[in-house]
Structure 1
């Protein structure tokens, strides 16, 4: 086979992988965000009504957070088997789990018809969503990054990241269509909220077909051929790289807190409350706009990180996020729909720039034999520390203080913690990701060696 033919074949395969990862993660996160949107708008009335409006809202947001507690279980399981039997099989399985749970939520009875069994079933299905989400991300990013040339990993890794804002755009857009056109007013409360959940069945078929057509990661193929799979990847990970897992989780925590509170369930609820007074459909359209902005800056961040490095891109993103946390609520509190668009637009600049480089950076700091476990568990723990109960915390802070300033302070602190973690991690763009380079991958990812607790004299150089 000629060089040009091989190059064309490799490029075609990379495009196929990029398409498969972005379609699959879009479907997964559409499912996840549909729940968060419904939790902010109707679940308090449909499933937690006996608790009263305020406690019901807190319980509704808490049900969003419950799934995050089960993400590590999904990450442990998918990481273990992803490092032993492959990335692709785990991607297909997590997609089916998420889609099945989401579709079933669309046919659940409410508290009015089933009593306490209704919220119990809702929570069980939300837990299944959490397990699926915990295993999804690691497999998707490794398929994208491990297939990519070393100088385009940031761009390739941004494709599965783009599935998150695309999933939210799709979720908020369809919900806005239901509330504003197809089932406005009481009709949405009666039956309209179910339609976005039931649509997941169609999306899951599309995602399944696309993912089944993708080749296994070349790095895992090499690991399998040489029979170098770790016996118990999770044990190996925490034995040697526990500090790296903690730092990587903290890097994600600030971004995830901002994402789930500002563009997930809390803002739709807060902006439509008596304190602000905006209309439900108008707010959902503004969230759709924010998702589009998040998409643009996530894509930009992936490309930028290939040019200036992951760390610099992160620091730019988190700095923008720090600057936006107070204006976010100042603008929303004006009660102006235009100011809501401005607030969300400004906030999603930092949100995207602090999310786009994550796939490539995570992939470059963990050794090949435990990479699936490392990226999955770090992501899941970061989600717990950041987004799990961010909407619940925000709602509680507003109820306790009567204002939104405390929410901005909370976001500021979470972002500052992530900046500290970013400064400790090393940038390693271009490092050889194959199993043959595991010795170099084992060291040099942080300023401090977790096994010796001593500074390294110099950074480890990436392979040319």
Structure 2
């Protein structure tokens, strides 16, 4: 578990302890990616009509504004990483992770309850964006703390990648659950129900999961490495700010290395693919409405990716953390244009293959990154460092979806924007590939406290 023997730790860690912390950590990751797909889907199919169409009649502007609301959460995530990283490195991983879920609950339930523009006028989209920002602040403190708490519990360095893969796989359980849930809504219920109530129910489920997760976390123990650390040393005064001086470059490189891991689903699949197929006039695929088909295929692809994320974590214990990210980056970059060619055929089986393949390669990096980011930083700054690395990747995504893509595609029919979206995704893959080469390999290192 650390450079010290297990007897020197404040308590003995059993395999059951590790499993329990893995479950508690994974709940937040599940909610994070579950809401990610819900918001991505809603921003492409529901929010433009419900909140933004009345703001501007110019073609594409409502969708661009909806993208802005989706990306807003990612722009503020680093702020959440700074706030919760501060408390996580000063007061403890577990107690801080309970707090993140409380904030996530407030943002998620708020989004579920915001009335449409027709009821509140301009206040409606403003509130939607506000609650999305609150949600983003909570999620900003979630992933770094969850991965730190879990990986600090793992006794054997050669098992950290495996448990990181489990945490990464929970992200795809969230993606699959959200996609299938939305797909079933489109399959079984009329559009009016989905627009008025259906999507709100799905967000409400996420809010309930946050409360349940907080209760489970509060019943478990603090990381033994952190307990050891604070028993012998004074925590940093402002850890989440001091870390920029000590490891600022490492954070930015790590975030860029993982940019790919958050971008595929955020840029290519949701919300672009669904909008593209609808705009192409393909309203029925395999006998079911196109939104339901795409979401169900995204869900099926996500369940394949659960395996690839777990495999990516396990393989990182054998091949190294960097190698898995390199493989993932090359795979996604090489598949991006073929992905759009397959989508452009409007053939349901080709679309299915495209969705599954690109997600599987994305999942490899998601599985390995938890252990990698935790190992890159010392205990003194670990919650802040791993969290900010992850959240700056989300920040890059937020800037891309909120500020780069909208002006590039505004006023352009979505069916003509393929080359722009593909070019952005390939550029992201190259950024991740190059950035990871600037980071050291951490496989097998000791987590010194």
TM-score by length of 1: 0.88
Q: Is 1:322 aligned with 2:298? A: no
Distance 1:249 1:275, change over 3 A: farther
1:406 equivalent to 2:392? Answer no
1:400 CA drift (Å): 4.0
* Distance (whole Å) between structure 2 residues aligned to residue 304 and residue 224 of structure 1: 33
Distance of aligned partners of 1:306 and 1:113 in 2 relative to their CA distance in 1, 3 Å threshold:
same
2:422 aligned with 1:419 = no
Q: Deviations over 1:82-137 (max 9, x none)?
A: 00000111111111211222122222110011100100110100000110111001
What is residue 186 of structure 2 aligned with on the other side?
A: 179
Distance in 1, Cα, partners of 2:45 & 2:176: 16
CA distance in 2, matches of 1:198, 1:335: 34
Q: Which residue of 1 aligns with 2:107?
A: 101
The aligned runs of 1:34-433 (5 Å cut-off) are 34-50=38-54, 51-52=56-57, 54-148=60-154, 149-181=156-188, 183-274=189-280, 277-278=283-284, 279-390=290-401, 393-394=404-405, 397-398=408-409, 400=412, 402-433=416-447
d(CA) in 1 for partners of 2:187 and 2:353? 22
Per-residue CA deviations over 1:11-54 (Å, capped at 9, x if unaligned) read 11111111111223212332333222211111000000112352
In 2 relative to 1, CA 379–201 (structure 1 residues): closer, same or farther, beyond 3 Å? closer
- In structure 2, the residue corresponding to 1:229 is in which secondary structure? coil
The CA distance in 2 between the partners of 1:208 and 1:430, in whole Å, is 32
User: Closer, same or farther in 2 for the Cα pair 1:22/1:263, shift >3 Å?
Assistant: farther
Distance 1:192 1:76 in 2: 34
Provide the residue aligned with 1:23 in structure 2: 27
**Offset of 1:144 from its aligned partner?**
1.3
Aligned to 2:4: none
2:312, 2:324 within 8 Å by CA — same for their partners in 1? Answer: yes
Structure 1 residues 397-420: Cα deviation after superposition (integer angstroms, max 9, x where no partner):
455482412221211111111111
The alpha-carbon distance between structure 1 residues 382 and 201, as it changes in their structure 2 partners (threshold 3 A), is closer
- Does 1 or 2 have the higher relative contact order (CA < 8 Å, sep 6+)? 2
Q: Could you tell me whether the CA contact under 8 Å between 1:257 and 1:387 is conserved in 2? A: no
Whole-Å separation in 1 of the counterparts to 2:444 and 2:235: 23
**Residues 350-359 or 198-207, more deviating:** 198-207
For structure 1, the residue ranges without an aligned partner over 5 or more in a row are 436-464
Deviates more, 1:130-139 or 1:370-379: 370-379
What's the CA shift for 1:140? 0.4
Query: Any stretches of 5+ residues in structure 2 without a counterpart?
Result: 1-6, 285-289
Q: Residue 363 of structure 1 contacts residue 371 of structure 1 at CA under 8 Å; is this kept in 2? A: yes
The Cα shift of 1:396 comes to 5.1
What is the CA deviation profile of residues 412-459 of structure 1, one whole-angstrom value per residue up to 9, with x for unaligned ones?
111111111111211121212122xxxxxxxxxxxxxxxxxxxxxxxx
User: Post-superposition shift, 1:395?
Assistant: 5.8
CA distance in 2, matches of 1:186, 1:369: 52
Question: Is 2:60–2:412's contact at 8 Å kept on the other side of the alignment?
Answer: no
> Which SS does the other structure have where 2:235 is aligned?
coil
Contact 1:276 1:333 in 2 (8 A): no
Q: Deviations over 1:39-84 (max 9, x none)?
A: 1111000000112352101110111111111111100011111000
The size of the alignment, in residue pairs, is: 430
Q: TM-score, normalised by structure 2?
A: 0.91
> 1: distance between equivalents of 2:107 and 2:12?
39
Alpha-carbon distance in 1 for matches of 2:357, 2:178: 21
Contact residue 32 and residue 174 of structure 2 kept, 8 A: yes
Farther-moved stretch of structure 1 (14-23 vs 75-84): 14-23
CA distance in 2, matches of 1:405, 1:374: 35
